[in-house]
Structures are given as C-alpha cells and as structure tokens.
Amino acid sequence: MTVESRAAAIELPAFYRWLDRLMHSRNLLGLIFMLPASALLLIFLTYPLGLGVWLGMTDATIGDTGRFIGIDNYISLAHDSVFWLVVFNTLLYTVVASVFKFGLGLWLALILNEHIPFKAFIRAIVLLPFIVPTVLSAVAFWWIYDSQFSIISWALVRLGIITQYIDFLGSPDLARMSVIIANIWRGIPFVAITLLAGLQTIPPTLYEAATLDGATPWQRFWHVTLPMLTPIIAVVMTFSVLFTFTDFQLIYTLTRGGPLNATHLMATLSFQRAITGGHLGEGAAIAVAMIPFLLAAILFSYFGLQRRRWQHGGGD
C-alpha cells in the first residue's frame, strides 16, 4: 500500500462522516424538506397578503400600478354608504347563517348518533351538499328561486297557502333570506358530520351514570353532551364563521349583490370594485377591511370556547 492511497483511505471516510452527519442533521434536513411547501406558501400566500395591504394604500387600477395614497381608500370607504350597507349585510349573513348552521347541524348530528337503519348510507348522502361545488348547487337554487317557475311557489300555490308566485331574489329582504337559506343548506352537513364524530367520542358510561342519577334527556344533553362537545364546537364554528364571512361563490351565482346591493357581501363588493370596475386599490382596501373582522371571529370563538373546555375538564 502506498502512502497516497492510505491517505485517501483515511480522508474519504472523514468526508463521508461529515456528509453523513450533514444528512442526519435535523435542521438541514428540515430545511430541505420544508422547501417546496414554504416556497409555495411564501410566494403565493404571504407575499400577496402583504401586496394586498400595500395595494389597499394605492390608487392602482387595471393597467396602472398607481401611487401611494396612504389611507385615502379607507377614508373614502368610510364615507361610502354602500360599503357600510355591505358590512351590515356581511355581518347579518354570517351571524344568522352560522347560528342556524350550528343549531340545525347539532340537531342532525344528534339524530344521526341514534340507532337508525342504513346509518352509514345516510351519513354518506347527508354530506352531498358539502361535496358538490358550491357554484353548481347554487345554480340549482337559482332555478328553485326562479320568479316564474319556482317549484316552491308552485307547490305552495297548489297547497293553497299563497296565491301569487314569490319573487325570491327580487326584493331586498326576501333575497337576503333566500341566500342565507342556500348558505345554511350547504353548511349543515359539515357541522353535522364533524359534531357527530365528536359525539361518538363521548363515553356512554357518562350517559348511564347520568341516567341512573335520574337526569332527564334534556339534562343529559345540557350537562353531559354539550360540555363534552365544546372543544370540537369551537373548531367547527371558527371555520364555519370564517368561510361564511368570506363567502363569494353563492352570492356571485345567485344575485351578484342585487337587488339594490341588499345581498352584496364584502368579498363580492371587493370583486366588483377591483375586477369588474378596475379599481384594484379600492377593491384591495375592502378585502383588507375583512381581516380585523376575521381576527375578531377567530379570537372570540377560540378563547370564548376554549375557557369552557378547561372549566369542565373536557377531553384533550
């Protein structure tokens, strides 16, 4: 064996050991493994989020990058009666739809948790409204709400309850109600199926103990089911509120904000001003104005419900 080759024999393992250590270094590997996901999210999520805030402070239009105008967009929005109407619409839409989604969803979950035939099948078809693209089911609702050929109007007339066809999307209050109902219809399955999963984690022994202690069904629900379900309710309702508040598809399909802006939500107004109207800056400002509401909703449902989970010592 020559001197050189012995040197190489010693050198090479050292290099490999270094490489080996490198390939087992958690931080370096973590960095490599995180690269694709973080690149996608940083470029197409974090950066546009910042860009949106910046755009909201410019007078950019389609085809013109605009210049910095400070909070002028927000000042003009504050004096814009349409904007405040839209904020009101959005809050009304979110609150009413979320309350009903929660109530009806919980009710459906309780029913599905009973002993019923074809349980798996029923559970599967109940999820359909949630699976099908919102726009496409909204098209079905559009047809159901048609002013001349509405099946609901037809049925009600035949039953003798009303004499005239209802123009569901024609007058402001009716249109608001109609879009809210369509939203509730779509949201119930998600709430119900998720809460059902929560219900199934509650140990039956708790109900037995409560029954032996003489609790009525209502008391069992109020003092066993609800406290045990609180953590999952918090998560589900946070998501539900979030997605209802930022809803776009349903309104765009059914009414495009009409009649008289009665069903315009912040997302649809932002689209109308920015893309249809070309005022990117103003549209971005409306979109940014949604963020405080969203943060408030997240914090409220998170902390509001989290504390009760701790109080009751519920499941972790």
User: Hey, which residues between 159 and 218 contact other proteins (CB under 8 A)?
Assistant: 185, 188-189, 193-194, 196-198, 200-201, 203-205, 207-208, 211
51: its two tokens: 């860009």
Site residues for other proteins, window 18-47 (CB under 8 A)? 23-24, 26-27, 29-31, 33-38, 40-41, 44-45, 47
The 237-276 contact track toward other proteins, x by CB under 8 A, reads -----xx--xxxx--xx------------xx--xx--xx-
Site residues for other proteins, window 101-120 (CB under 8 A)? 104, 107-108, 111-112, 114-116, 120
Question: Of the two residues 3 and 45, which places its CB atom closer to other proteins in the complex?
Answer: 45
99: its two tokens: 């309350």
Q: Which of 224, 201, 200, 198 is nearest to 213 (CA)?
A: 224
Task: Based on the shown chain and the rule CB under 8 A, indicate whether residue 82 belongs to the binding site for other proteins.
Answer: no
Q: How far apart are CA 78 and CA 59, in angstroms?
A: 16
Q: How far is the CB of 307 from other proteins (least distance, A)?
A: 19
CA-to-CA separations, 288 to 60, 143, 244, 259, 267, in angstroms, rounded: 15, 34, 16, 25, 10
**Which of 9, 128, 260, 299: binder of other proteins (CB under 8 A)?**
128
Task: Based on the shown chain and the rule CB under 8 A, indicate whether residue 229 belongs to the binding site for other proteins.
Answer: no
Q: Are 123 and 147 in contact (CB under 8 A)?
A: no
Q: How far is the CB of 247 from other proteins (least distance, A)?
A: 8
244: its two tokens: 């209802």
171: its two tokens: 């007058």
CA-to-CA separations, 256 to 198, 248, 260, 267, in angstroms, rounded: 37, 9, 10, 11
